[in-house]
Amino acid sequence: MAYQTLIVEIEEYVALIRLNRPEALNALNSVLLGELADALKAADANEKVRCIVLTGSDKAFAAGADIKEMSEKSFVDMFTQQFFATEAESILRTRKPIIAAVAGYALGGGCELAMMCDFIICAENAKFGQPEINLGVVAGIGGTQRLTRFVGKSKSMDMHLTGRFMDAAEAERSGLVSRVVPLAKLIPEAMGAAQKIAAKSMLSTMIVKECVNRAYETTLAEGVAFERNSFYALFATEDQKEGMAAFLEKREPQFRDK
């Protein structure tokens, strides 16, 4: 399907979704977020996709929600239209793993979008920030909650209250990103990680995602019980038999998502 604000390519079971509004540094407007929700739903349903990489340009992953689109809105508009709430919920419903490959600016809604993915690999030129305070507002797509869980209260408060940007080294040091690579290696690194994930049993990858995300939603005891039952449940699958037999027979497993 052709999109106005996205470029989607599928290669070796990985969907590479590129945000494409260069004239606005990939600012998230309702067209882009609607298309993204749609593309993720399509990728989730597509048998030729087993992992997803979400990226922007070399200059910007996304420089935030679109300020032009928002500037004249009233409280009533935002509240009744549930500004970006439905799009964010549908992005979060994606069951296949999503890697954010971030180069350049990931600010405001852009940083929030990266944090809604399952993990973030960034280029050395990445800059993360929640500068909404400079616009007289606060983060609106989960930034105050997710950034705090990633980097802790002190750094999150600093970022939200001062609006300063965090560079790639600080983002890696603080646990916001899993890897930092030179800009030219960003897409190969993210695609390599995605292809590795695509070769696993999709039952396991989808359940890993559910288990790790559960850590943010529940107590430790309940999360551990959820994980334990998920682990037990995987013993009902052919892929568990295949994975363990392959190890014992010293060969590569052939997973069939069964």
Chain contacts with ligand CAA (rule: CB under 6 A): 24-25, 27, 63-68, 105, 107-109, 112, 131-132, 135, 139-141, 143
112 labelled catalytic: yes
Q: Which is nearer to ligand CAA, 68 or 251 (CB)?
A: 68
* Residue-by-residue DSSP string for 80-113: HHTTTHHHHHHHHT--S-EEEEE-SEEETHHHHH
Residue 246 is among the residues annotated as catalytic for this protein: no
In terms of CB distance, is 83 or 255 closer to ligand CAA?
Answer: 83
Q: How far is the CB of 141 from ligand CAA (least distance, A)?
A: 5
Query: Which residue among the candidates 15, 65, 100, 194 is catalytic per the annotation?
Result: 65
CB-based contacts of 168, cutoff 8 Å, min separation 6: 122, 123, 124, 125, 126, 127, 177, 180
Which of 112, 126, 143, 194 is flagged as catalytic? 112
DSSP state of 118: S
> With respect to ligand CAA, which residue has the nearer C-beta, 6 or 63?
63
CB atoms within 10 A of CB 232: 9
Is 103 annotated as catalytic?
no
CB atoms within 10 A of CB 242: 16
11 a catalytic residue: no
Q: In whole angstroms, how large is the CA radius of gyration of the chain?
A: 19
We find the least distance from the C-beta atom of residue 64 to ligand CAA, in angstroms, to be 3
Q: Which residues are catalytic?
A: 65, 109, 112, 132
